[in-house]
Amino acid sequence: MHKKVKIGVIGLGYVGFPLAIKLSINFNVVGFDVNSKRVKELKNGLDTTDEVDSKEILKRFKNKLCISSDSKILKDVNIFIVTVPTPVKKNNSPDLDPLRKACITVSRYLKKEDIVVFESTVYPGLTEEFCGKILDKESKLIMNKDFFLGYSPERINPGDKIHSVDKITKVVSSNNKKSLKILKEIYSKLTSGQIFIAKNIKVAEAAKVIENSQRDINIAFINEIAKISQKLNISIYDVLEASNTKWNFLPFYPGLVGGHCIGVDPYYISFKAKKLGINPEVILSGRRTNDRMSNFIAKEIISRLKNRSNILILGLTFKENVPDTRNSKIFDLIRHFTDHGHSVSVCDPTLTKIKTDFNFYNRLEDVKKTRFDALVFAVNHKSFKDIYPKEISKYLNKNALIADILGIWRKRKHTFNYWSL
């Protein structure tokens, strides 16, 4: 089967590029992305997302993988896999523009018997009701007769090399038995994990969107308990340490929920729920709690500062060891601090070039001339592992505040004023 298959991956970001790399081990694969800069970097062996190393990239390019920012590369493709982002607009409603554009691009090269698979996170029904209709209209072909749809939700966890795309369980679905068989065989050659066949496309879509929504809600619950713990003058981390001794306790931890998945996906299922006349109270309550957590943390820190303090924040990305600042709540902290007259500097070793309104350092060694009144440990990058207390003390004034949001240093001996959730 795989000798006849030519796979086209549309979208070469966190999801699409690692997928294209692994698929190209067994299949003829082409990749398309509208971002010509991204394509050029990848061709030179540079993946700025740090998901694929240079050696593997160049090795695959020598074999069965070609990529381009020119959609003509999709000309002879018969299995299209769409992995474009599904963000939200300012009002938190689904922004389907990337999907719409991807569907229009695919429709130019769609032929009879082709299969179009979507991996992007969407609300249940969107693949067939939105994407399918666009493909139908633009290609002049008939869905479920001339071409067929599939949905296999991405489960990329940025920065996680253990649960990579070639090791996880893959959920696969299609609106056609023959297409489902083909997709099962393709994904079986991709991953050493299991293949789970969902009953239909809607089931697979729903499964994906609730995976991240569930995590968002669980974190929101712990964030709420963290606020209560602050008023009780106890540490949420001490509470969780005790609770974790029970065999069926689910360990989640407080913090700032950002990024392009957990903080976004709940809005997709909520949007669909409202269309169905259902008020998604729990889902949206969790979102509000997590969105407001940066405000709570900022207030706690500011209440412990003197006027016009000089603050150093460690970490800017939305999670540890990932060079991605999309929807990072650290920006909210910075805004709160500057609105109260404080001066902010940020150090993040995972980032190189970034446009900011504040002092930014890629390395702590570059922060030499300034002494800070407060240090906010916001993101637990591995390069920050051994900096406390000896390394960090050289950057702080006497009686400076250490605000350890993640509680990483809470069991250390402190010579500075220490605060944590």
Distance CA 218, CA 188 (A): 32
End-to-end Cα separation, the chain, in angstroms:
55
Distance CA 45, CA 172 (A): 30
Distance CA 218, CA 158 (A): 20
Answer yes or no: 347 catalytic.
Answer: no
- Give the active site residue among 103, 131, 261, 347: 261
Tracing tokens 């709160």 back to the chain, one arrives at 336
Distance CA 287, CA 282 (A): 9
User: Which residues lie across from 118 on neighbouring strands?
Assistant: 82, 151
| 119-124-126-129 Cα dihedral, nearest 10 degrees | 130
Distance CA 287, CA 293 (A): 10
- Edge to edge, what strands does the sheet with 148-151 contain? 65-68, 28-32, 6-10, 79-82, 115-118, 148-151, 170-174, 195-197
Left if phi > 0, otherwise alpha if psi is -120 to 50, otherwise beta: which for 149? beta
Left if phi > 0, otherwise alpha if psi is -120 to 50, otherwise beta: which for 50? left
CA 58, 63, 68: angle at the middle one, nearest 5?
70
H and E: helices and strands count for the chain: 14, 14
Name, in order, each residue with C-beta under 8 angstroms of 348's C-beta and a sequence gap of 6 or more.
314, 315, 316, 317, 360, 361, 362, 379, 381
Question: What residues are labeled active site?
Answer: 261
